[in-house]
Every structure is written in C-alpha cells, then in structure tokens.
Amino acid sequence: MRNLGKFFDNKHFARGFNRSGEFTINEAQVLENYGKTMQALFEGKITPEDEDESNFIAAFQEGGEGIVSKYAQCWKKYLSKTQRKRTYTLCSTVKSGASSYEDDDSDSDDLLLED
C-alpha cells in the first residue's frame, strides 16, 4: 500500500486517531499513514497498483467477504465510527398545573373585606 501523505479527520477525530480511544495503536498508525490512499481507493479516485490495494478494493466489492486485509478491516472500522446513523429522541417536559398564584380566575383586587 502506498503512502499519499498523512491522513487526518479533524471533523470526527479532532485530537487524532491515537487519542480518540476508538482505534488501537496499530490501527491509528495505519489510518494516519495510509488513510489518504484507502480513501482514494474506496472512492474510486485512484486505481490499485499492488496486491494490497487490489485486496482492499476486493474486500468492499460484492462477494469479498472472505478477503481479510488489515487495511480493509481498519477502513471498515473507520467508516463505522464516522458514518453512524444518528438517532434522536424526542422529549418534552410536562408543565405542572398552575400554582395558586398563577392564572387565578377570581379578581382578588375586587374583594372587599368587612370589618
């Protein structure tokens, strides 16, 4: 696998792959050193030049389940961490009933006290 330069993902891993806690030391080094190559191969921007790159592409094509490559495993893990489906929970708070001081229908200003 060729090295096209250091790969960084400041959007998802602003402090780096090593400090994220998501990757092992070896996986972080593979991503940093070969991530640009893996991304370009995955997106089809470059063609494979050696057996490692061919195996990497084959692992993502149909029927490539049996191919085990440390690069493909690392890239699959990277994709699973960055392309998660976000789930949102709708929550609402229930307002409690009006207190005795709020929304009082009686006109307390109009009451007359008899002595």
Which pLDDT score, from 0 to 100, does residue 34 have?
93
Answer whether residue 76 is part of any domain. yes
Q: What is the 3-state secondary structure (H, E, C) of 30-79?
A: HHHHHHHHHHHHHHCCCCCCCHHHHHHHHHHCCCHHHCCCHHHHHHHHHH
DSSP state of 84: P
Answer whether residue 51 is part of any domain. yes
> How many angstroms separate the CA atoms of 47 and 64, rounded?
17
pTM: 0.66
Answer whether residue 72 is part of any domain. yes
Answer whether residue 90 is part of any domain. no
Number of domains in the chain: 1
Answer whether residue 64 is part of any domain. yes
Which pLDDT score, from 0 to 100, does residue 38 have?
92
Answer whether residue 10 is part of any domain. no
Answer whether residue 52 is part of any domain. yes
Q: Spell out the per-residue pLDDT of the chain, length 115, in tens.
A: 888 899 998 888 888 888 888 899 999 999 999 999 999 999 999 999 998 888 888 888 876 676 678 898 999 899 888 886 666 677 767 666 655 555 555 555 565 666 5
Match 């991503």 to its residue by tokens: 31
Answer whether residue 33 is part of any domain. yes
> Could you give the percent of the chain with pLDDT greater than 70?
72
- Domain boundaries, position 56: 17-82
